Structure 1
Amino acid sequence: MKKLLEWVGLGLLVIGGCSVLHHYVSWFDKWAVVENLPLFEGHKLYVSGAVIVLGLVVLLVSDKVSPEPRPATGGGRRPALPEPAVPEPAFDADAPDWP
């Protein structure tokens, strides 16, 4: 889901940016989707800006979505091993010497 939202946000950002560039310098004729729709006649620049803002919002929302968990197939990190026990000394250094 996270990757899908990132791709959708990037697509909206590119479409809105290309529409704004097409409005000012007439580049990206085929990519300017907003410029080619007769529905937005007279408001194409505002709609292009709204598409850019919508793309940024989708990208920000995609950062909040947690990535899909991996299936538990035994891969990934292993649990931490317990600390090894420190062995007791074989003799007591404080014990008196036997005669």
Structure 2
Amino acid sequence: MPFSIETTIEQITAQFGQSPLKSTLENALKTSLNQKQGEFEALQAALQNGDLTQEEFQIEIEREKALLTAEMETLKIIAKAEIQKIVNQVFQAITSQLK
């Protein structure tokens, strides 16, 4: 069966349910995985052609997993910084109104 990033994204984002972050996570996954589609297809072909052993294939998949984790962690840090910025602005506004 041909590899499909879209199918993978659909399967994963369906698990997000009603999360308010669903579209943000979906967009982040689409961007990252679409950039890697060629790499995944090359890995699949190499495995099928016998150019990679199952162990080598698994090592490459784990490497890709680590890269995606790092990308998602970066988004987490950015989101946390944005939330802190908003909270600071809210309390600056509240403080200025209470004076």
TM-score by length of 1: 0.34
Higher-Rg structure is 1
Could you say which structure has the higher helix fraction? Answer: 2
Question: Which structure carries more relative contact order (alpha carbon 8 Å, separation 6+)?
Answer: 1
TM-score by length of 2: 0.34
